[in-house]
């Protein structure tokens, strides 16, 4: 019995040293894990804050104020991620501010990495309405950067009783101005009083 107690007493320093080493290792591991977690949190917070600051410093891109939204409705849509093109078919309507575009099918071409819309191609029974102006064509291309539409395929623009057609019509949405090119035909309706004023006396 005495010999056994002597052995235990002799082993005590070793046991205590082992326990202290284990406790120290555990505390070190916990501290390292906490430090790593805090560091990761700080890095994420700094990255988000830096990105936000850079976004505030960056000037808005020309033609992209970020406030003008485009709403598209259709019966069906298919997206090609490789070419970043979305194809809408069936009762397609595109609305931006006070302008509406209608067509059988449209292709929306996005800027690289989804940074906005570059252009919209419209096919079949295309019609654009803006206030009292109506433009029709077989197809057209809308350029978001310049806010203009190029219409081809029997394009026609109507406003009131006036009608102008040609081979190509370039319509500027912001100015409400249309430029007609090639084989231009115009029908202009004038009030009788204005016609009488133009007649020589």
Whole-number pLDDT of residue 137: 97
In the DSSP assignment, the letter for residue 64 is -
Run of H or E including 148 = strand 148-152
Name the band, by pLDDT with cuts 50, 70 and 90, for residue 151. very high
Whole-number pLDDT of residue 41: 27
pLDDT digits (tens, 9 = 90+) for 38-50: 333 222 222 233 3
Instruction: Enumerate the domain spans of the chain.
Output: 1-58, 71-187
pLDDT digits (tens, 9 = 90+) for 52-77: 333 344 444 444 444 568 899 999 99
Whole-number pLDDT of residue 126: 97
Tell me the Ramachandran region of residue 133: left when phi exceeds 0, alpha when psi lies from -120 to 50, beta otherwise: beta
Whole-number pLDDT of residue 18: 60
pLDDT digits (tens, 9 = 90+) for 116-144: 899 999 999 999 999 999 999 999 999 99
Run of H or E including 85 = strand 85-96
> Class of the 71-187 domain?
mainly beta
Comparing 148 with 113, the larger pLDDT belongs to 148
**Residue 75 neighbours by CB under 8 Å, 6+ apart:** 89, 90, 91
- The answer to whether residue 150 scores a pLDDT higher than 60 is yes
Strand partners, 141: 121, 150
């Amino acid at each position: 019995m005495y010999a056994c107690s002597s052995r235990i007493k002799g082993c005590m320093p070793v046991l205590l040293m082992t326990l202290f080493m284990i406790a120290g290792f555990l505390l070190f591991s916990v501290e390292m894990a906490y430090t790593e977690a805090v560091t990761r949190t700080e890095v994420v917070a700094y990255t988000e804050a830096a990105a936000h600051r850079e976004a505030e410093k960056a000037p808005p891109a020309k033609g992209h104020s970020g406030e003008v939204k485009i709403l598209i409705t259709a019966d069906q849509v298919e997206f090609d991620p490789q070419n970043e093109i979305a194809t809408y078919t069936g009762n397609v309507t595109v609305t931006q501010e006070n302008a509406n575009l209608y067509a059988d099918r449209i292709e929306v071409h996005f800027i690289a990495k989804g940074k906005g819309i570059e252009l919209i191609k419209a096919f079949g029974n295309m019609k654009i309405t803006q206030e009292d102006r109506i433009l029709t064509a077989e197809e057209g291309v809308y350029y978001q950067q310049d806010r203009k539409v190029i219409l081809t395929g029997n394009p026609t623009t109507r406003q009131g009783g006036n009608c102008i057609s040609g081979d190509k019509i370039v319509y500027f949405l912001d100015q409400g101005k249309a430029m007609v090119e090639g084989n231009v035909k115009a029908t202009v309706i004038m009030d009788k009083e204005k016609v009488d004023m133009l007649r020589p006396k």
